[in-house]
Amino acid sequence: MSDELPGSSQSYQILHRASSSQTGAIVRADVSCSLMERAMKLISNAFADGGAIPRRFTCDGENLSPPLQWSGAPAGTRSFVLLCDDPDAPAGTWHHWAVYDLPPVLTELADGAAKNMKMTQAVNDFRKVGYGGPCPPQGHGPHHYHFRLLALSTDHLPAKAGASCRDIEREARQHAIAEAILVGLYER
């Protein structure tokens, strides 16, 4: 179901509870994510939304995952997935990171958190498990790195060993009840 905000042409998502015969899970109606993006926030104290990602979080620096904080997760959140990708890559979207099955009580990741091998992380497009920092081609101009936090209605994604970032995103989207996006820029 799609509606418009008063005085606006933006549509928003309406969430509703399935009947008890469907386990009471939260399900999504057929609408956009614009309101959900405003409800849940994803920020970093290392860079502003639309700002430059510091070198230390890139392949030219220490290649550490940046510090990230979030708030406003909706009721019914049972886990989070955090994704990072670059839609400006020459060969199409490049997936830098997917960490999943993050507990719902978690509200931040410190810088370098991807080095914590206790976190469940996918294989990125560098063919490595964990975070691969921004590393655009020299002279290709600024690339936009999308850090996306998805609140999920499940506490565990049924991912196979060696799952790729794409696999995790595809599975997570089936359970997403909210999404927040933070975009950082980097160029070489």
Any domain includes 135: yes
- pLDDT > 70: percent of the chain: 80
Alpha-carbon span 132 to 60, nearest angstrom: 11
Q: Is residue 6 very low, low, confident or very high in pLDDT (cuts 50, 70, 90)? A: very low
Q: How many domains does the chain have?
A: 1
Mean pLDDT across the stretch 65-75?
Answer: 97
Any domain includes 74: yes
Task: Residue 128: give its domain's CATH number.
Answer: 3.90.280.10
Mean pLDDT of the chain: 85
Instruction: Note the pLDDT of residue 39.
Output: 85
Any domain includes 13: no
Alpha-carbon span 160 to 164, nearest angstrom: 9
Alpha-carbon span 181 to 42, nearest angstrom: 6
Alpha-carbon span 145 to 155, nearest angstrom: 26
Mean pLDDT across the stretch 46-66?
Answer: 98
Q: Is residue 10 predicted with pLDDT exceeding 60? A: no
Q: Is residue 75 very low, low, confident or very high in pLDDT (cuts 50, 70, 90)? A: very high
Tens-place pLDDT, residues 108-158: 999 999 998 789 999 999 999 999 999 999 999 999 999 999 999 999 999
Q: Is residue 57 predicted with pLDDT exceeding 90? A: yes
Mean pLDDT across the stretch 153-165?
Answer: 96
Instruction: Note the pLDDT of residue 100.
Output: 98
Any domain includes 84: yes
Instruction: Note the pLDDT of residue 116.
Output: 85
Look at the alpha carbons of 19, 25, 26, 31 in this order and tell me if their dihedral is positive or negative. Answer: negative
Q: Is residue 67 very low, low, confident or very high in pLDDT (cuts 50, 70, 90)? A: very high
Task: Confirm whether pTM is higher than 0.75.
Answer: yes
Any domain includes 16: no
Any domain includes 18: no
Instruction: Note the pLDDT of residue 117.
Output: 77
Instruction: Note the pLDDT of residue 14.
Output: 31
3-state secondary structure the chain: CEEECCCCCCEEECEEECCHHHCCCEEECCCCCHHHHHHCEEECCCCCCCEECCHHHCCCCCCCCCCEEEECCCCCCCEEEEEEEECCCCCCCEEEEEEEEECCCCCEECCCHHHCCCCEECECCCCCECCCCCCCCCCCCCEEEEEEEEEECCCCCCCCCCCEHHHHHHHHHCCEEEEEEEEEEECC
Contact between 185 and 143 (Cβ < 8 Å): yes
Q: Is residue 36 very low, low, confident or very high in pLDDT (cuts 50, 70, 90)? A: very low
Query: Residue 172: what residue type?
Result: A
CB neighbour list of residue 31: distance below 8 Å, 6 or more residues apart: 1, 2, 3, 11, 12, 13, 14
Any domain includes 170: yes
Any domain includes 22: no
Range of the domain at 45: 36-186
